Amino acid sequence: MGKTVMIIGLGGLGGWVLEQLARCQGISRIVAADKREDPGRCKLEAAAFGASEQGFKKRMEFFPVNLYDIDGTAELIHQVKPDVLYSAAVLQSFWLAQYLPAELAAKNLKAGGAVGLPFQVPLPYKLMQAVKKSNVDCIVLNNSFPDVINVMLWRNGFRPNFGAGNSDLLSERIRWIVCHKEDVPLEEVVVYLVTCHQIVMLGTSVDIPYYLRIVVSGLDVTSKYDLKELIGSHANRLKPQAMDPEMRMALINNPYIAASAVKNINAVVNDTRQLTHAPGPNGMPGGYPVRLGAQGAEVVLPDDLTLDQAVQLNSKALKWDGVEDITEDGTVIVTEEARELIREVYGYEASPFKLEEADDRAEEMKACYQRLAKKYNVPFAQY
């Protein structure tokens, strides 16, 4: 029997996840849901017909959903009963800020993931309320800044299992480079990476903490490589001045991040117990090497690094994402530097962010962002 996967949010990222997932084994049913009914149905049909041309036969359905209607979303989840629920739902993409004038876009990037919290938190929060209300036991993959948002949710009684993208993109790039350097099959390369989202963006241009060990065919080859060069190789490809923002989103980031998500979904669906990488596993900050299967994520660390040390490392690394601390009740304290940058760019005061304030904070940031977007005639999300 194949499994059922439900996708919430069919924007630039979710649409790519749908396309790739439609061509995967072990899944018999895909249910896609989005607030925008017409484009959502069109994306579903395109994925279904394209996959059919390549010999993949799945039951594929679309349902309109409004995550602000928590009861209605819970009823839909209860009806579908997914084995895996994937969410790419956000109010506005972090990448839209790259359309701003270069000086402002650079400050936005330097402020890190914290700048996007007002747009990133509300929909995953509402979705997890609906999941709890539905009484459906499923694996949940949240792709919205899981390094931080999964922590906020777990500390408030909600349980997204893990995320995708972010530091997993760097981990996979390192594997790809090493497998070619060593002339071995990709599966012979294991990368143990502990770090946060922002290292993917800034590389080694700043001193973001990280742990990295590289194993090839069971042998530790870490000392053979310039680790700073390996880590910086990803960030150097994505410098804001080097690429048009639309190209960055449409042609590189979204398919790449989607592949990370689909890899993680496949590991759960087919219970592969794959050793890979994921951000935000089990409500922990940052990204970790994990083994993924039907029961979720298990963090797997080398013998010279304890779980507590890894968590502490990532808690420090998240300061480069603008996160000073995440308190026991899930409140995010933004660093003073990030607060100042956000204030300079948007006129928004990034005071401590509590989960229950998500809607109000989104409206505040929306007003600030739209004023700026209209001033410079750049796009912004309509919601």
CATH number of the domain bearing residue 172: 3.90.110.10
Clarify whether residues 140 and 176 are in a common domain: no
The mean per-residue pLDDT over the stretch 268-273 comes to 97
d(CA 74, CA 339) in angstroms, rounded, equals 36
pTM of the full predicted structure? 0.95
Listed range (150-159, 180-189, 247-256) with the worst mean pLDDT: 247-256
Quick one: pLDDT at residue 380? 85
Residue 180, in any domain of the structure = yes
Question: Domain for residue 160, yes or no?
Answer: no
15's tokens: 């649409």
Q: pLDDT band at 241, cuts 50/70/90? A: very low
Do 53 and 196 fall within a single domain?
A: no
Task: Name which residue leads in pLDDT, 79 or 98.
Answer: 79
**Within-domain flag for 349:** no
**Counting beta carbons within 10 angstroms of the beta carbon of residue 351, is it exposed (0 to 12), middle (13 to 18) or buried (19 or more)?**
exposed
**245 within a domain of the structure (yes/no):** yes
**pLDDT of res. 26:** 94
What is the structure's pLDDT at 175?
97
37-66 exposure pattern, b = at least 16 Cβ within 10 A, e = fewer: eeebbebbeebbeebeeeebebebbbbebe
- In a domain, residue 337? The reply is no
Q: Are residues 147 and 171 in the same domain?
A: no
Amino acid residing at 218: G
Which two structure tokens, joined as six digits, stand for 276? 């890979």
- Reply yes or no on whether the pLDDT at 98 is more than 50: yes
pLDDT at residue 381, rounded to an integer: 84
Same structural domain, 105 and 213 = no
Q: Are residues 136 and 191 in the same domain?
A: no
Looking at the structure, tell me whether residues 137 and 257 fall in a common domain.
no
pLDDT: which is higher, 296 or 233? 296
Same domain, 138 and 234: no
136 with 21, same domain: the answer is yes
Task: Say if residue 128 is in the same domain as residue 270.
Answer: no
Nearest to 195 by CA among 352, 338, 305: 305
Q: How far is CA 101 from CA 105, 114, 240, 318, in A?
A: 6, 20, 11, 26
pLDDT, tens only, 121-141: 999 999 999 999 999 999 999
Question: What pLDDT, on the 0 to 100 scale, is given for residue 233?
Answer: 81
Q: Are 73 and 136 in contact (CB under 8 A)?
A: no
CB 65 within 8 A of CB 8: yes
Neighbours of 114 (CB within 10 A): 27
CATH number, domain with residue 32: 3.40.50.720
Q: Is 33 helix (H, G, I), strand (E, B) or coil?
A: strand
Task: Specify whether 75 is located in the same domain as 172.
Answer: no
Are 108 and 209 in a shared domain? no
**Final residue before a domain boundary, out of 96, 124, 154:** 154
User: What is the pLDDT at residue 240?
Assistant: 47
* Average pLDDT score, the chain: 94
The structural domain count of the chain equals 2
Domain residue limits at 284: 167-321
Residue in this structure with the two tokens 């050793």, named with its chain if needed:
275
Asked if residue 357 is part of any domain, the answer here is no
Tell me, what's the pLDDT at 247? 52
- Residues 6+ positions from 181 with CB-CB distance below 8 Å: none
State whether the Cα torsion 339-231-100-248 is positive or negative. Answer: negative
